[in-house]
Amino acid sequence: MKNTFVGFLTLVAIMLLTVELGQSFNCNDATNQVAPCLGYISGQGGDAPPSECCNGVRALVSSVPTTPDRRAACECLKGAAVAFPAIKDDLANSLFKKCGVSVEFSISKDINCQT
């Protein structure tokens, strides 16, 4: 009986771990969330990011609760910055702050995402 109970608890732990791992960061979702920011960070969107942009930024930040997720998000945004050379570094670097979000990384092609 004790072995069955231990086996059951082990199975439940594995299932919980699998569910948790299944909800990890997705780069496509992240780029879709910050897509409304492209006009602003390329200097074509006025003095402030649009509300759709900031809503996406907030959603992105809330979807990266762990350090590995934040590093993955950083790498994803770094790749996006490289892919879109029209992005202005100063606007991209200030995006999170302008949206009222505190995060350790920015959108930059030069950022070291491991630190």
Domain ranges within the chain, ordered by starting residue: 26-98
> How sure is the predictor about 8, in pLDDT bands with cuts at 50, 70 and 90?
very low
* pLDDT at residue 41 greater than cutoff 70: yes
The per-type count for the chain, helices as H runs and strands as E runs, is 6, 0
Cα R_g (the chain), whole angstroms: 18
Look at phi and psi of residue 31 and say left if phi exceeds 0, alpha if psi is from -120 to 50, else beta. Answer: alpha
For range 63-76, the mean pLDDT: 89
When the candidates are 1.10.110.10, 3.40.920.10, 1.10.10.10, 2.30.40.10, the CATH number that belongs to 26-98 is 1.10.110.10
Q: How far apart are CA 19 and CA 101, in angstroms?
A: 27
Q: What residue has token string 């969107």?
A: 45
